[in-house]
Amino acid sequence: MRPVFRSILLAGAAALIASSASAAGKLDVVRAKAQIDAGLAKDYGHLDALYRDIHQHPELAFQENETAAKLAKEMRALGFEVTEHVGKTGIVAIYRNGPGPTVMVRTELDALPMEEKTGLPYASHATQMWNGKPSPVAHSCGHDIHMAAWVGAAQQLVAMKSQWHGTLMFIGQPAEEAIGGAKAMIADGLFTRFPKPDLGFAQHVTPAPAGLVSYRAGVNTSNADGFEITFYGKGAHGSRPQLSIDPVMEAARFTVDVQSVISREKDPAAFGVAGVGAIQAGSAGNIIPDQAIVRGTIRSYDTEVRRKLKDGVARTARAAAAMEGAPEPKVDFDQGADAVVNDAAITARTAPVFKAAFGARAVEAPAPGSASEDYSAYVIAGVPSLYWSLGGIDPKVYADYKAKGQEPPGNHTPQFAPAPEPSIKTGVEAMTLAVLNVLS
């Protein structure tokens, strides 16, 4: 979609939302939050059991069959019309409650191919196939928290349906970690088979104190691009390196030298990351292999920085191969997620609600986060949105880490362990209030 037409579309959608209620809003936040908390007092035990079940039984991208079935069952029990297998393993749950805007609420279904090391009594010991090999699987990003809060928000909105009018479109998206699930759902008719949302909401748990809600208008996450480089060489016995062209040396040189693109080519004031996350080569210590594969990620906010980093990665790979007298490497890029850009009007409308509900625990983020999200695909497709962050670490645990000058384990680490109850409850409160505020 051309930028000018997309701007007109988003402006029109924002005007529709603004016209549905005044900027001050009709929502009595204090009263609504009290009702939500009363509902949570009754329903939290079920949400906690659901969370622990999902945490113990994680599934990888586009393999989330059991996870999707669990959420579909929950939503049908609440009276939603549920369609499964959208975008392969995604679900769409619709709840119609009279005339009004259609509001999309998204959660993610997938886990990560990594071993959990939290020591929790409900820790995951699951394995699934990943890149052709068995891999441990864990919800080390927090999607299990999101799913429980997503179900909880649906529970509260249905219980409070006399106080709002419109259509709820709750979607369970596959493959967020693989940066492909949002596009898969859109390609499978998400916005043609189902009502096109007037706006959307999503949230993500972070290693901040539980109870914190952080939001900002404009750019909120980074662009993400993946790369895979195959370095070619000539195999030999480990004791006779003179007969080889060592692709491990190529990979090692590249891994170090690519950082000069960050330190010497990119504007120091502009955010940009190019890092290696996986190197695969060889089978034994005394065999020099004939190829090595390097996989990594590029993150940026700015289009020009994004281009510069991709160019630098490719050029550094070719140079590393040339230094070893090796054939030119194969360099592949996988354009993943664009930055999530929060709609200014929706942010301005929601921020006072968060402030009224959470007080000092509702904060405006001073800068975008460095992580990436394929929620941006929905925004680009014409769904003006607000995507915010939730704190997930027990405040005392967080304070103890800080007192030692340390950071608590974050997303995508084996020890990431959000505190379920405060994280889920805050997520339910924030999401329910945000939706009520635009449908009241």
pLDDT at 16: 44
Core vs surface per residue 315-337: b (16+ CB within 10 A) or e: ebbbebbeebebeebebeeeebb
With contact defined as beta carbons under 8 Å apart, do 206 and 220 qualify? no
Strands 102-108 and 166-173, bridge-based pairing? parallel
Q: What is the pLDDT of residues 351-367, one digit of tens each?
A: 999 999 999 999 999 99
pLDDT at 284: 97
Q: Round to whole Å and give the CA distance between 201 and 305.
A: 28
With contact defined as beta carbons under 8 Å apart, do 66 and 91 qualify? no
Percentage of the chain lying above the pLDDT 90 cut: 91
Per-residue pLDDT band for 25 (boundaries 50, 70, 90) equals: low
pLDDT at 148: 98
The whole-chain average pLDDT of the chain stands at 94
Residue type, 171: I
Could you tell me the two tokens for 406? 């340390």
pLDDT at 132: 92
Model confidence at 19: pLDDT above 50: no
Model confidence at 318: pLDDT above 50: yes
Model confidence at 407: pLDDT above 70: yes
Q: Round to whole Å and give the CA distance between 116 and 136.
A: 8
Helix 420-439 vs helix 143-159: crossing angle, to nearest 10: 50
With contact defined as beta carbons under 8 Å apart, do 330 and 247 qualify? no
pLDDT at 9: 38
Model confidence at 32: pLDDT above 60: yes
Model confidence at 128: pLDDT above 70: yes
pLDDT at 372: 92
In the predicted model, what is the mean pLDDT of residues 194-219? 97
In the predicted model, what is the mean pLDDT of residues 54-82? 98
Closest by Cα among 401, 404, 396 to 422: 396
What is residue 301's three-state secondary structure? coil
| Overall residue count recorded for the chain in this entry | 440
DSSP 1-67: --HHHHHHHHHHHHHHHHHHS-TT-S--HHHHHHHHHHHHHHHHHHHHHHHHHHHHS---TT--HHH
Could you tell me the two tokens for 171? 């979607």
Q: What is the pLDDT of residues 252-285, one digit of tens each?
A: 999 999 999 999 999 999 999 999 999 999 999 9
Q: Maximum distance among all alpha carbons in the chain?
A: 79
In the predicted model, what is the mean pLDDT of residues 86-90? 98
Structural domains in the chain? 3-221+337-439 (3.40.630.10), 223-335 (3.30.70.360)
- Cα dist. 218→17, 172, 342, 354, 388 in Å? 17, 24, 5, 18, 12
pLDDT at 336: 80
Helix (H) or strand (E) holding 110: none
Q: Round to whole Å and give the CA distance between 142 and 110.
A: 10
CB-based contacts of 241, cutoff 8 Å, min separation 6: 288
Q: Which residue has the higher pLDDT, 120 or 13?
A: 120
Instruction: Count Cα neighbours of 72 within 13 Å in the Cβ-side half-sphere.
Output: 16
In the predicted model, what is the mean pLDDT of residues 143-162? 98
Model confidence at 21: pLDDT above 70: no
Q: Round to whole Å and give the CA distance between 422 and 354.
A: 16
With contact defined as beta carbons under 8 Å apart, do 114 and 87 qualify? no
Per-residue pLDDT band for 335 (boundaries 50, 70, 90) equals: confident
Q: What is the pLDDT of residues 69-87, one digit of tens each?
A: 999 999 999 999 999 999 9
In the predicted model, what is the mean pLDDT of residues 185-194? 98
Q: Which residue has the higher pLDDT, 264 or 21?
A: 264
Q: Which long-range contacts (CB under 8 A, 24 or more apart) does 277-285 make?
A: 279/251, 279/255, 281/247, 281/248, 281/251, 282/248, 285/238
Strands 287-288 and 236-237, bridge-based pairing? antiparallel
Compute φ and ψ for 287, nearest 5 degrees.
-125, 120
Q: Which residue has the higher pLDDT, 433 or 26?
A: 433
Closest by Cα among 416, 410, 181, 229 to 331: 229
- Around Cβ 105, how many Cβ atoms within 10 Å? 24
Per-residue pLDDT band for 26 (boundaries 50, 70, 90) equals: confident
Model confidence at 289: pLDDT above 90: yes
**DSSP H helical segments within 57-176, as ranges?**
65-77, 143-159
Model confidence at 380: pLDDT above 50: yes
